[in-house]
A and B are shown apart, each in its own frame.
Chain A
Amino acid sequence: MLDEILLRVEKPARYIGNEINMVVKDKCDINFAFCFPDVYEVGMSHLGLQILYYFLNRRSDTYCQRVFAPWIDMEAQMRSHNIPLYALETGDPIKNFDFVGFTLQYEMCYTNIINMLDLAGIPVYARDRGEDDPIVIGGGPCAYNPEPLADFFDIFYIGEGEVYYDEFLDMYKQHKKSGGSRHDFLKKAMSIPCMYVPEFYDVTYNADGTLASFKPNCPEAPPKIKKAIVKDMDSVFYPDKQLVPLIEVVHDRVTLEVFRGCIRGCRFCQAGYIYRPVREKNAQTLIDCSRSLVANSGHEEISLSSLSTSDYRQFKELANRLLELYSKDKINISLPSLRIDAFSLELMQRVQEVRKSSLTFAPEAGTQRLRNVINKGLTEEDILNGSALAFSGGRNRVKLYFMCGLPTETDEDLMGIVDLANKIVDKYHEIPKEERPRPISVVASTACFVPKPFTPFQWSAQATVSEFMRKTKLVKTSMTKKQVKYTYHEPETSSMEAVLARGDRRICDVIFRAWQLGAKFDGWTEHFKYELWLKAFDETGLSKDFYACRERSYDEILPWDHISIGVSKKFFINEAEKAKAGEVTPNCRAECGMCGAKAFGCGVCYE
């Protein structure tokens, strides 16, 4: 049956497995379905999946298999032929697995999770699951505020998977042998400090809709759940091979994880706080790693992965050695998230000998005042000098990334976006005419600011959809130079993202209702249906603006207060106040900000 269906869908190779380096095993004690709630090509490009897949499969008692969200056409075929959601390795329905684990990378995937559970024939609400159903577990960055998904998950794992999964699976095996109940296991799991089991916590609300209390309802449930982090990045497991897809995916390349965390402390950036402290890998570790990954994959590109590669202390050494090792084999080195300076430009020149790619800056805000508010250390001078350097090297295309709707933003800040783009054009024209054969092109784009948990802006109100529209229109009409192109994100998606990012447990029903009404693949512009979400809010009697556009007070109980990332609330309040005053905070290497992450006993805090 599957054979005939596969010929009727787009890209059937999404649904067959059989990739290079796929793990094949006989029967195992523990069957783990690793689910990525987006389409195959996106999920297969995700480093976390590649790491955890081999990490779990290195255990002889565990078989970790992959599951992705079937695309709309495949879902329709599966539903009409009663084919339940299956794992790619064996084709077995995931309903029969011990664990169904979802990685939560992006809020707009939430309806896909519901859809996948439903397609699998697993009760969507955790409370409806029985002894024979899998344990549904969530992890990844969005798990740091698990509340909008709390009703659908049995457990959330907070933090980095390499730390406690062994202990957790050993515990499960023992429990299965002794024939204990599901309920007992969930209680037992809470002895691991990063495990959050929502059913063992009760929430009450005030008349104004804010949280009145959030309390454990059994003695085993800890009042605070602590994120797990890897202390030593050189000894931690890293795969010596990668799954190599049979079809083109978003990133077809070897990925080297250079470090976790970021020293910068940009105040809008959740990743910059939840992955604290910065922990680097040694360049030698990375080189060793790259050899086996390249040999076992046949990839033609190596990418360095981190939040800010230029901040890697051994960056020059690593880049030079990689180039030395691989340029003769025609393997490219890709360097995302670089700060533009003389060295990075020279490096880019050496890496991409043929095609000169465009230059990318992320000033995020249009004026220095607002950049200080968000603690983005990039100055106008940096951008103009960097551009000038690049122009003299023959480049003529610049991309600029901004956000609109940032806290304290005024129209003057928005006009700053226009100014900056214009100044770059002027900078290009300073070059004598005969030395610039091609015209300059600047593309400025704005994304809508979404306040996230565990950032100094977690209390901030988001701009309303109509405010966003006014702001982007203002920028658009002010962009008059023909060399500058302006693009912007539609605000409706960002507005929903803000609700899902900072929502509480009541949002579960909104997500469920939106899914019932037909919402899925909300992260895909062509599939996002705003009106369904508005209807879902309407029917559940909740207010979207209450979650997205309301300024919260410091003493309000936040839905994610029971999760500890090791950065104190006091620090965030202090940062929020400094933001309002336009004061910057130095990066972790320049001066310790006393955020609290030093308690983990590792990384940049001890350099």
Chain B
Amino acid sequence: MKRFTALLIALLLLLSMALIGCGVKDNKTDEPTGQSDTKQEETKKEDKKEEAKEETPATNDQVTNDPDVKVINLWSFTDEVPKMLDKFKELNPDFPYEIKTTIIATTDGAYQPALDAALASGGADAPDIFTAEAAFVLKYTQGDASPYAAAYKDLGIDVDNLLKEAEIAQYTVDIGTNPDGNLVGLGYQATGGAFIYRRSIAKDVWGTDDPAVIKDKVGPGWDKFFAAAAELRAKGYGIISGDGDLWHAVENSSDKGWIVDGKLNIDPKREEFLDLSKKLKDNDYHNDTQDWQDAWFADMKDAGAKKVFGFFGPAWLINYVMAENSGGSAPGEGTYGDWAVCEPPVGFFWGGTWVLANKDTRVPAAVGEILEWITLDSSETGLQYYWANGTLNGPGGTKDTVASGAVMSKSDGTLDFLGYQNMFEAFVPAGEFANGKNLTQYDESINIFWRDQVREYTAGNKSREQTLADFKQQVADNLDVIVE
């Protein structure tokens, strides 16, 4: 034992030497970062220059690129934005930068830690452009990581005029505006949600499939929604597939987010979700599925226990998820073509990708050019026009709603999947109902806890009080949030 302690002490000594060694190494590695620091200072100086010039309307010329930099680093969690940049390069063959993409999936929770570390450590490999999903975008626009986000106007983008010209939905702007009031991130999609329902079931129950009529059957408000659920149930239908469908509508129609002044806040509308969910389950109004699981997909093609009337969702849910899972690819096959969209009982939005820039980027003008093309260019060669009409990779692609109202009004949202209804009719107003002021940076984690606890409650495993207490406990245990 004595020898062991002696050895341990020897090791500790060695270690302290190793530490000193590392310290020396650190100094060495500091040198290059020191260089980049000076470069950062240079860019800061440039920033100051810009500020001085700000009185005159900003244009691209005033923001200069570092001529030594030949690469733009892009970080994203899907290949959507990287593919857009391929198109951008195709449209601008003279664009002198190579795009280096890093894609890390959000699935295993790895994207944020890696992105945060890359932003914090800076240097030549630091991201110039990065993307964030609705579930965690607040962290980068208003939360802990917001100091890293560059204001659009500092990238040479004429924000105020372009926002008006493109008619960008207000909630995306709200989410993308940092605490100083500067716009730092914008999305390309509009993810305002609608209620997507089955025409044949509507005809069976109410004798019509007209969106204008159905809209008044399922809403506004949850009371009418549940009245409709009872009518549907009497005929053997479920109104929705699982409580997850309802959640996105509830989450986003609440007045306040999960955190107010650093404290956990359970908005009454979100707390009500417990009762709504329980009511759905107890009255057998749904198939008790979980979103993104096999059974949920199965309900899109009538393969569940009972036929399901509708889903809550934005345009991307229709094109990317429901059409794929309808059991067909042309009207008449599976449930394809038997759907329609109408206004939901409460306004909401779900998902979306925001595009941000690193404030330390050494090529701000080039980055600004790309960001403007993706988020604010409402012309027919802007990204959003291709995106809305499904022509990014040639004709016949997937149509989607986009953030720019100007683009939407000159695009055609007619889908054979919806029985040739123009989906933009329902989705353009939907964007206005959406509220971007009740998000918080911890939403992703807190939502997981909340949904888990609600499932426990609806399964009858615990009382309502216990459910709320356990939820608060989990938030307090796992996050740096004050819980009272």
Instruction: State whether these chains interact.
Output: no
Q: Which residues does B use to contact A, with CB under 8 Å?
A: none
Question: Which chain A residues have a beta carbon within 8 Å of chain B's beta carbons?
Answer: none
